[in-house]
A and B are shown apart, each in its own frame.
Chain A
Amino acid sequence: MTTEPAAPAAPAAPASAAMVDLHDARYVYAHGNVVALDGLTVRIGAGEVVGVMGQNGSGKTTFTKLLNGLLKPTSGAVVVDGLDTRQHSVQSMAAHVGYVFQNPNHQLFATTVAEELAFGPRNIGCTPEEVQERVEEAVAFFDLGAILPLHPYRISFPLRKLVGIASIFTMRPRVFVLDEPTTGQDHRTTSVIDRLIRRLGERGDTVICVSHDMPLIAHVTARAMVMWNGKLIADGTPREVFMDTSAMVRTHLTPPQITQLSTRMPGRASRPAVLSVAELVAEAQERP
């Protein structure tokens, strides 16, 4: 049903303005001849918020590393923000693709939050005024004013996670790649990250979120992709993808619990699955 690339739910730009454009991209790890990505063709428009799901080893990480040029395709092409990654260095791609690590401890190194935020823009050659302006924008967006003088390791883990994203935000990348942003987080932190990704989407940023967190995918993305064995086996709205039983079963993914409930409720078999508790509650209330 969803193996053909479906149109994104709300494209923010015409297809000609693809922010991410992979054409038959293949990647083979030299050691052991492992085909990590098996001819991937996919376009992601500017302003799309996309979820990427799949088991470990399905090719998700290889896909994201191709975007920032850390890996170059063995064959085929990867074009991000109009730049062919084979012709640009990792450093120059970094201004276009911001990669947020799963664990902020692997990313943060400065001695104050303020320093952490200023490092990226300074490193790509911004003037002191520009650096200042970008840091102020990030502080306002992430509400970090109170912790600027603190050491990143002296703040709570959820805040540290925000600083990790904010320090990429100051690079003003066109594409944010978030690697498992909610893994191992408690519910309170997960809600903060959920809200934040939605706000990035509202600003028109392109966000690619690699995650196994099904409620997160359901809440924040307009388009979900499932990878399996180096291939894209489903690509559509989260609603379509969660109902693609064959893709879900093959990858051991289970839709959010409320989505599963909605597909099993007697009397609503003809209606599409819901993505949130609020949606199913609204449905119950509109019924006579």
Chain B
Amino acid sequence: MADEPIISITDMGYTYAQAERPALAGIDLHIERGEYVAVMGLNGAGKTTLGLCLNGIIPHMLMGEQTGTVLVDGKDPGTTVVREMARTVGIVFDNPEFQMSQITAAEEVALGLENLGVDPSEMPERIAGALRLVGLEGMEERSPMGLSGGQQQRLAIASVLVMRPIILFMDEPTSNLDPLGKDEIFEIARRLNQEEGMTVIVAEHEVEVLAQYADRVVVLDEGRIALQGPPSEVLSKVDALTALGLRSPQVTAYAHALSGASAGLPVTIDTTLDWLGARA
């Protein structure tokens, strides 16, 4: 890991135009290169807004007032052109169909490259490479609309990866997918993080899955960071999460009920089996 955080947010706030309260306030967040960060929070807690602040959609394309500082790979999204930020931060949303507009998968992926002004002769190789990263190799000529939900979401990820971002922000990427589709997406995120060294940020409700993959959990509550730290630290705070309308993994709630502890609890099945063994 490099010494400088890849993302450095200091006392940042954002209020949408005509909103009664800020969507984000007092955000201090420093993310290291190669980290896998899970963002939890109720609907409306500010998860999506945080992502939009990273790639410059805020403040360039949305009306509102931003305070504090944001630095992403040394660049200020507020003064950097969105096209440049797209090379740094890729964003994937919850509904892949909204992102699909082209006739073939290859054209879908090419769209981002065209916007970046990449030389057409370079495109086929980069497109094939991006499709390979998400397990859709050889699907260049398929229609996006003929793909399964999981495949569409993988295509949406490929369309972002082709721009070679160093950070991938996924906003509830599996909420419209069936169990197989969900597994596919989390496996790709794990591979990109562990094998390609990408910094991955995932906003998700499925806490059991997050506990398995994340290096760090950030909990947002009404636009503020309520808790952050390693999964075993944050998710052990069973009562605090309940008070925030969230929950811990079921195994953690179980360990909490048995021990009364709110720190150092197991968050996965395997670590719970070890924990139970040590208590016996």
Scan residues 236-263 of chain A and give those whose CB is less than 8 A from a CB of chain B: 251-254, 256-258, 260-261
Partner of A55, one of B43, B178, B249: B178
Q: How large is the interface on A (under 10, 10 to 19, 20 to 34, 35 or more residues)?
A: 20 to 34
- Pairwise interchain contact A184-B175, C-beta atoms closer than 8 A: yes
Q: How many residues of B contact A (CB 8 A)?
A: 32
Partner of A183, one of B42, B175, B277: B175
Chain B residues within 8 Å of A, Cβ to Cβ = 41-43, 94, 148-149, 172, 175-176, 178-181, 183, 205, 207-208, 245-247, 249-251, 253-254, 257-258, 269, 272-273, 276-277
Q: When chains A and B are docked, how far (Å) is the Cα of A48 from the Cα of B160?
A: 46
Taking the nearest CB of chain A, how far is it from the CB of B44, in angstroms? Answer: 8
The interface residues of chain A lying within 8 Å CB-to-CB of B250 are 215, 256-258, 261, 277
Q: When chains A and B are docked, how far (Å) is the Cα of A252 from the Cα of B277?
A: 29
- Pairwise interchain contact B257-A55, C-beta atoms closer than 8 A: no
Sample of 20 more A-B contacts, CB < 8 Å, known A280-B254, A281-B257: A56-B149, A184-B172, A184-B175, A185-B43, A185-B205, A186-B41, A186-B43, A187-B205, A187-B207, A187-B245, A187-B247, A257-B249, A257-B250, A257-B269, A258-B251, A265-B276, A266-B277, A277-B253, A277-B257, A281-B258
Q: Does A31 contact B (CB under 8 A)?
A: no
- Pairwise interchain contact A188-B251, C-beta atoms closer than 8 A: no
- Pairwise interchain contact A252-B179, C-beta atoms closer than 8 A: yes
- Pairwise interchain contact A284-B179, C-beta atoms closer than 8 A: no
Q: Does A212 contact B (CB under 8 A)?
A: yes
Known contacts A157-B43, A261-B272, A265-B276; A186 and B254 CB within 8 A of each other = no
Q: Does A154 contact B (CB under 8 A)?
A: no
Q: When chains A and B are docked, how far (Å) is the Cα of A186 from the Cα of B39?
A: 13
Chain A residues within 8 Å of B, Cβ to Cβ = 55-57, 157, 183-189, 212, 215, 251-254, 256-258, 260-261, 264-266, 277, 280-281, 284
Residue on A with the closest CB to B172?
A184
Dominant secondary structure at the B interface: helix
The interface residues of chain A lying within 8 Å CB-to-CB of B273 are 261, 264-266
Known contacts A184-B172, A256-B250; A56 and B205 CB within 8 A of each other = no
Q: When chains A and B are docked, how far (Å) is the Cα of A257 from the Cα of B273?
A: 12
5 contacts between A and B (CB under 8 A): A57-B148, A183-B176, A184-B94, A252-B180, A261-B250
Q: When chains A and B are docked, how far (Å) is the Cα of A55 from the Cα of B178?
A: 6
Residue on B with the closest CB to A189?
B43
Known contacts A257-B251, A277-B254; A55 and B179 CB within 8 A of each other = yes
Known contacts A157-B43, A215-B250; A188 and B180 CB within 8 A of each other = no
The interface residues of chain A lying within 8 Å CB-to-CB of B175 are 183-184
Known contacts A185-B205, A188-B245; A254 and B179 CB within 8 A of each other = yes
Partner of B251, one of A55, A189, A261: A261
Taking the nearest CB of chain B, how far is it from the CB of A59, in angstroms? Answer: 13
- Pairwise interchain contact B257-A252, C-beta atoms closer than 8 A: no
The interface residues of chain A lying within 8 Å CB-to-CB of B149 are 56
The interface residues of chain B lying within 8 Å CB-to-CB of A185 are 43, 205
- Pairwise interchain contact B276-A258, C-beta atoms closer than 8 A: no
Most buried by B among A183, A186, A257, A265: A257
